[in-house]
Amino acid sequence: MGYALFYNFGYYLKNPIEILMVWNGGMSFHGGVIGVIVASKLFSNKYKTNQFIFLDLVAISAPIGIFFGRIANFINSELYGRATDVPWSVQFTIIDSIKRHPSQLYEAFLEGIVLFFILGYFFKKNYLKKPGQISGLFLIFYSLFRFFIEYFRSPDLQIGYLIFNLTLGQLISSAFIVLGTLLFFIKKNEN
């Protein structure tokens, strides 16, 4: 749903049955985050628990899945980088013969490994005692890393570059940085 809404709305509006064809690809991390938030709200309401305890646990473990997902994107030649001549460039021969940034590996490193250790550090040091702060930090750091890596990643062909020559991923990440910052400080100042 996230991909259909954010990245190819016009196409799926004309072909709604294809939203169900998940074997054709078309996933969106940002849409997934919204799905996790909705699911955790339903779960917490059912079991009468604080939604942010669950979201913090998901946020701490999510970088592991992100890491493996980005490795899979690299293996499958998906979400490839922009053309470059850096020595570690990669040719995705099923796409074209252009040497490109291995942006999936950049994402695996920053959004997977680095983010895992950042969140783990704050969790282990118990600096963040109020549920929701880890979730806020996840949104902030993931989005900062994603915004930066988008400069090395090819934009979606059907969208290209938008306002200020930014990609849709960068614009959505900017919104998530603001949301994460608000969440972090609201939860920090709660009594």
Supply 22's token pair.
């998940």
Classify residue 55: in a domain, yes or no.
yes
- Measured distance CA(170)–CA(111) in Å, rounded: 14
pLDDT at residue 160, rounded to an integer: 80
Classify residue 10: in a domain, yes or no.
no
> Considering the chain, what percentage of its residues have pLDDT values greater than 70?
92
Q: Using one digit for the tens of pLDDT, what is the confidence trace for 93-115?
A: 999 999 999 999 999 999 999 99
Total domains present in the chain: 1
Q: Using one digit for the tens of pLDDT, what is the confidence trace for 112-167?
A: 999 999 999 998 887 667 899 999 999 999 999 999 999 999 988 777 888 899 99
- Measured distance CA(116)–CA(124) in Å, rounded: 12
pTM: 0.85
How many CB atoms lie under 10 A from the CB of residue 64?
13
Classify residue 53: in a domain, yes or no.
yes
Beta partners for residue 91, in sequence order: 99
Averaged pLDDT for residues 15-41: 78
- Measured distance CA(100)–CA(82) in Å, rounded: 5
Classify residue 16: in a domain, yes or no.
no
- Measured distance CA(34)–CA(56) in Å, rounded: 14
Classify residue 106: in a domain, yes or no.
yes
- Measured distance CA(131)–CA(129) in Å, rounded: 7
Classify residue 115: in a domain, yes or no.
yes
Q: Mean of the per-residue pLDDT values for the chain?
A: 89
List the Cα angle 102/178/25 in 5-degree steps: 40
pLDDT at residue 119, rounded to an integer: 95
Domain that holds residue 161: 29-188
Residue among 99, 77, 64 at smallest CA distance from 25: 77
Question: Any residues with CB less than 8 A from the CB of 51 and at least 6 apart, and which?
Answer: 40, 41, 43, 44
Which carries the bigger pLDDT value, residue 92 or residue 22?
92
The CA distances from residue 110 to 11, 105, 128, in Å, are: 32, 9, 22
pLDDT at residue 129, rounded to an integer: 78
Question: Is 22's pLDDT higher than 70?
Answer: no
Provide Rg for the chain, Cα atoms. Answer: 18
| Residue 3 and residue 28 in contact, taking contact as beta carbons nearer than 8 Å | yes
Classify residue 158: in a domain, yes or no.
yes
Classify residue 9: in a domain, yes or no.
no
